[in-house]
Structure 1
């Protein structure tokens, strides 16, 4: 499964949406800090990556946060 598919599945679950496009904005979808924290936790437990809160704000779409996570994996030992 690609990172973007995993991110989309996490977002759909936490935002309670059936489908989220790659360029849908987290905040437009009703995202707020409590949901962001749950997504952050899911990234850590399910994907094994720690995504700082500032990166969640800087990358508010599935496409952008997936690219950020992929960049982390590229430098991971």
Structure 2
């Protein structure tokens, strides 16, 4: 469920849906401004604040979803 939400957020921000959960955000055409929008949407829709540096280091839907899942289960 988390992965599908993150995938949808990325799809809206990147204006595309032809990517897998293992594709790198930057190879898909993402940039820092788009990443800022994704950060806000993740917090608004899922309720987890993901630091910007983490979004840059974990640049796939799968990696970000795993981080969010761990954060939610720690609460």
Tell me the TM-score normalised to structure 2 length. 0.96
Unaligned runs of 5+ in 1: none
4+ residue runs over 4 A deviation = none
Q: Distance in 2 between matches of 1:20 and 1:42?
A: 19
For 1:69, the equivalent position in structure 2 comes to 68
For 1:24, the equivalent position in structure 2 comes to 23
Q: Distance in 2 between matches of 1:57 and 1:32?
A: 10
Q: Distance in 1 between matches of 2:56 and 2:6?
A: 15
Aligned residues: 75
Q: CA deviation at 1:64?
A: 0.5
Q: SS of the residue aligned with 1:45?
A: helix
- Which moved further from structure 2: 14-23 or 32-41? 14-23
TM-align CA RMSD: 0.7
Tell me the TM-score normalised to structure 1 length. 0.94
